[in-house]
Amino acid sequence: MKFFSSRLIAWQRTHGRHGLPWQGADAYRVWLSEIMLQQTQVATVIPYFQRFVISFPNIDALAAATEEQVLAHWSGLGYYARGRNLHKAAQIIAEKYHGEFPREFAQILELPGIGRSTAAAICALAYHQHRAILDGNVKRVLARYCGVEGWTGEKRVEEKLWQQAEALLPLHDVAIYTQALMDMGATVCVRSKPKCVLCPAQADCIALQTERTAELPTPRPRKTVPERYATFLLLMHGNDILLEKRPGSGIWGGLWCPPQFDDEEASRDWFVRNRMDASEGERLETFTHTFTHFKLHITPLKIQLARKPLHAAQPGSVWLDVEEALQAAIPMPVRTVLQELTRRMG
Ligand code: SF4
């Protein structure tokens, strides 16, 4: 890791991005660019940045504008909270610092919409202060270069990356070094297929040496899908089955389903409430239906009735021959159950 920063600085001078409208500008413009560049590409940001600084050439002008005017200039950039925070921060700066962008890291960090890395970027780029940055691109570069495993959104991993970022920081040319890291992340050490042959850090990059450039940074862990359970009560009278229309909202909204319960016990309470004989039912095999956000394990409980209960003639419930029910608006798991019933009737 020796000379990492000097290699990056030399690379930035010849291969980095130059002539961006906020480079070498005052803290206001650096701040504005940093906020606009969050979640947005440089090419998209440039025309927005230019229009913005024409309309609001300084912090006082921005603070004096209405929120509507600011958001109209932001329109199309997305993530409008950024525009609103920018406006709020300008008003704070106008009032508290007489329109002069503060120079202290802690003062900058207090402003709305500015996190640790953005505050550090403003300090490094506008004031040449000795501050390390760690935005999304830099996390990727450092996770690869230093071989840091683990999802970078995890506190423990992020802390490790901050330590690396601080350790690699040069004593001089911090602004160029900061720009180099940003440029490297945007143009060379890109998300997929990094261009390692063009990289100033290739000689001692751990991911490259250990052939893990595709594995690092470790992707966000897949969320485990919650598991839920349901009992379908298959009330049968001859070949007829009772179906109920589901409420319009929620899963299977407006479709026809057998009465559904969280478990068998709850289905038996239903029997008691409806003054029906909770005779022994036949438990069919449990099967699983997968939704995008959860898995539903369904156990159908089949109960053959000697006569149709009166309550079931209510609106919203219907007795249908199983074959007929298969033609109705039913969700896939109900179809599976009905098909199993016709197979058994066979
Ligand atoms: S050598 Fe490749 S993986 Fe390593 S920092 Fe450079 S571009 Fe990224």
| One domain, residues 199 and 235 | no
Task: In whole angstroms, give the CA distance from residue 244 to residue 325.
Answer: 11
| One domain, residues 273 and 159 | no
| One domain, residues 27 and 167 | yes
Q: Distance, CA 177 to ligand 1 centroid (Å)?
A: 16
Give residues (CB < 6 A) around ligand 1.
141, 144-145, 188-189, 194, 196, 199, 201-202, 205, 207-208, 213
Residues in the chain: 346
| One domain, residues 100 and 136 | yes
Residue 64: Cβ within 10 Å count: 13
- What's the structural domain count of the chain? 2
Q: What is the pLDDT along the chain (346 residues), one digit of tens a residue?
A: 568 999 999 999 999 999 999 999 999 999 999 999 998 899 999 999 999 999 999 999 999 999 888 988 888 777 778 998 999 999 999 999 999 999 999 999 999 999 999 999 999 999 999 999 999 999 999 999 999 999 999 999 999 999 999 999 999 999 999 999 999 999 999 999 999 999 999 999 999 999 999 999 999 888 888 999 999 999 999 999 999 988 877 788 778 999 999 988 888 787 777 777 666 778 899 999 988 789 999 999 998 888 777 655 567 889 999 999 998 888 889 999 999 999 988 7
Per the CB < 8 A criterion, the answer to whether 74 and 113 are in contact is: no
Which of 209, 238, 255 delimits the end of a domain? 209
Tell me, yes or no, whether 217 lies in a domain: no
- Give, for 303, the enclosing helix (H) or strand (E): strand 295-304
Q: Distance, CA 209 to ligand 1 centroid (Å)?
A: 10
Helix axes 155-168, 136-145, angle to 10 degrees: 80
Task: In whole angstroms, give the CA distance from residue 35 to residue 153.
Answer: 20
Task: In whole angstroms, give the CA distance from residue 17 to residue 99.
Answer: 30
* pLDDT at residue 2, rounded to an integer: 60
* pLDDT at residue 1, rounded to an integer: 58
Task: In whole angstroms, give the CA distance from residue 137 to residue 103.
Answer: 25
Task: In whole angstroms, give the CA distance from residue 178 to residue 130.
Answer: 10
Residue with CA nearest ligand 1 atom 1:
202
CATH code, domain carrying 324:
3.90.79.10
Specify the pTM. Answer: 0.69
Active-site residue list:
34
Q: Distance, CA 139 to ligand 1 centroid (Å)?
A: 12
Expressed as residue numbers, the domain containing 110 is 4-209
* pLDDT at residue 278, rounded to an integer: 60
